[in-house]
Structure 1
Amino acid sequence: MRSVVVRRFGGPETLEIIDTPTPEPGHGQVLVKVKGASLNPIDLSARAGRLTQAGLVAPAAQLSLGWDVAGSVEALGPGAERFQLGDPVVGLRDLLFAGGTHADYVVLDESALAPAPRSVSLTKAATLPLNALTADRALDLTGLRRGEKLLITGASGGVGGFVIELAALRGLRTIALARPDDAERVRALGADEVITSADDLGPAVRSIVPGGVDAVIDAAVLGITAHQALRGEGTFVALVAPFAPPSIRGTRVVVQEVFADGRRLTELSALVDAGVLTLHVAQTLPLEDAQSAHALLEKGGLRGRVVLTP
């Protein structure tokens, strides 16, 4: 089978497509035939060596890429009983030393998989796992209750959009920071208020919510700039540990760390079919165009994910 790997860190030109034996599922594992695998910013960081430099990935001669996957069950390992051959599934690869999803096939623990939503294509379904699980866990970490107020930075991105929709489901009041061109789309997702500039973000938010919001989810990685909008003793959820601001004014600062939670992913998949979560694909490219896909994402300005289709 084909697999996208890096053997030296750098730009998109360092990506290689190599032939490797198709893996066999072990106990409690499932072999998935990949139909779609989205490209995320963390894949760019892995390719450039930033994850290894940060100590999140052990140094290795070769690193496989890809977290998200949508596809069909090709084979079952001993003890795997949740799925049948041919079932459409979505899943998340959170073990970075294991084979990545930017490949023809991937083996995942059964617990990392969920039934794919039936109302969308598998290409679209591939954009769900990482971003939706990140958004959902970030909301859990805020501890907010119905009616409380949340600032979402990067609201027009993959994680931010899911946060808006899930927050609306929980009855939270949301203030979204988004690009001017995305303001109407973010409102359509359910944001109560939209701010289109990060300049003087704290005063801008406090003009809407005197005293500051109860929590911040910082999908845009603004750090202290976003923290200025938070009330005393509020909760700040950072998505990237090095950019977490200090815990000042009695605030609680936590870092969200996503993991492959197939149980919760099953519930999120059902929310897609219920029309609660919206999936966005910016462009699809064949696996052999992985370098072009990385360059496209690195350029920025996309509305939706790039999905590789083996």
Structure 2
Amino acid sequence: MQAVVVDGFGGPEQIELVQVPVPQPGAGQVRVRVRAAGLNPVDGAVRVGVFGGAGQRLGFGWDVAGEIDGLGAGVSGWALSDPVVGLHYGPVKPLGTHAQYVVLDASAIAAAPSSADPVTAAALPLSGLTAARAVDLLGLAPGASVLVTGAAGVVGGLAVQLAARAGYAVTALAGADDEALVRTLGAAAFVPRGSAPAGPVDGVVDAAVLGAAALAHVRDGGVYVGLRPGDAPAAERGVRVVVQEVAADGEHLARLVALVDAGELTLRAGETFALAEAAKAHARLAEGGARGRIVLTVS
């Protein structure tokens, strides 16, 4: 099968499409025939060596949408050809979802949304679980005021929707041209990037990774939720500082799929590239400014 890998760190020119054996599912695992796979910022970080792995061949991809192609021993509740979405956790791995086939633990998958095609569905697993875990960590009462930074991004946009659904009064911080977008996602108020909300908020989901600059908008005794493990500002003024860490969680993913199919959660897939164009996709990712998740399609 074909898979996207790097044998050395650097720019998009390091990306290779290689032939590797089709992986075999072990006990408690499934093999998924990949139809679409999201390209996330974490993949760019893997490419440049942020997570280490020097001297190893590293694969890419956390998100997958496709159908079950093989069942390992002990797997129940799933059948061949079932359409699924899943999360392949881990930055340092020999193969990821940017391949024709991927093996996942059965506990890491959920039935794919019936209302979305594979390209759109591939924008859900990593971004959706990240946003949902962040909103859950707020732990505030309904009606509390919550600021979401980077609200027009894929994760930030999902966080806006989930926070509004949880009953929070959401203020979205994003680019000046993004007000209409974030309001359609459920933001009650808007703050253009570089400005401050009208007053302190009860909590912030810092999807833009602003750190101390975002924490400064939280009231004394409020809560700051970061999205990047190991990268959070120091607590001050009694503000509770927590950081979400995503995990492969098929049950939680299934709840998000249900929201998608109920029309309560909007997914945003952006530009698509064929698997053979992975280097071009990484170059586009590095440019920044994409609206919607970049997705690799697999034929």
TM-score interval, normalised by the smaller of the two chains: over 0.9
Aligned to 1:39: 39
Aligned to 2:272: 284
Structure 1 window deviating more from structure 2 (269-278 vs 190-199): it is 190-199
- How far does residue 99 in structure 1 lie from its aligned partner after superposition? 2.3
Aligned to 1:299: 287
| Counterparts of 1:113 and 1:273, CA distance in 2 | 16
Q: By percentage of residues, which structure has more helix?
A: 1
| Counterparts of 2:263 and 2:169, CA distance in 1 | 20
| Counterparts of 2:123 and 2:65, CA distance in 1 | 8
| Counterparts of 1:187 and 1:176, CA distance in 2 | 8
SS of residue matched to 1:277 = coil
| Counterparts of 2:111 and 2:95, CA distance in 1 | 21
Aligned to 1:86: 81
SS of residue matched to 1:69 = strand
1:156 aligned residue (152, 155, 166)? 152
Unaligned runs of 5+ in 1: 53-57
| Counterparts of 1:115 and 1:171, CA distance in 2 | 27
Is 1:216 aligned to residue 204 of structure 2? yes
| Counterparts of 1:89 and 1:15, CA distance in 2 | 27
- How far does residue 197 in structure 1 lie from its aligned partner after superposition? 2.0
Q: Is the 8 A contact 2:57 2:94 kept in 1?
A: no
Aligned to 2:251: 263
- How far does residue 216 in structure 1 lie from its aligned partner after superposition? 0.8
Q: Is the 8 A contact 1:99 1:107 kept in 2?
A: no
Q: Is the 8 A contact 1:234 1:252 kept in 2?
A: yes
- How far does residue 51 in structure 1 lie from its aligned partner after superposition? 1.8
Q: Is the 8 A contact 2:202 2:222 kept in 1?
A: yes
| Counterparts of 2:43 and 2:166, CA distance in 1 | 31
TM-score, normalisation: structure 1: 0.93
Deviations 1:263-295 (A, max 9, x none): 010010111010011111211110000010011
1:196 aligned residue (180, 188, 192)? 192
Aligned to 2:131: 135
Deviations 1:30-58 (A, max 9, x none): 00000000100000000010122xxxxx5
Question: What is the identity percentage for the equivalent residue pairs of Structure 1 and Structure 2?
Answer: 50
SS of residue matched to 1:265 = helix
- How far does residue 242 in structure 1 lie from its aligned partner after superposition? 4.7
Is 1:253 aligned to residue 247 of structure 2? no
- How far does residue 256 in structure 1 lie from its aligned partner after superposition? 1.0
SS of residue matched to 2:51 = helix
TM-score, normalisation: structure 2: 0.97
Runs of 4+ in 1 over 4 A off after TM superposition: none
Aligned to 1:8: 8
| Counterparts of 1:243 and 1:183, CA distance in 2 | 28
Unaligned runs of 5+ in 2: none
Q: Is the 8 A contact 2:270 2:293 kept in 1?
A: yes
Tell me the amino acid that sits aligned with residue 171 of structure 1: G
- How far does residue 60 in structure 1 lie from its aligned partner after superposition? 4.6
- How far does residue 98 in structure 1 lie from its aligned partner after superposition? 5.2
| Counterparts of 2:51 and 2:141, CA distance in 1 | 34
Tell me the amino acid that sits aligned with residue 85 of structure 2: V
| Counterparts of 1:69 and 1:82, CA distance in 2 | 19
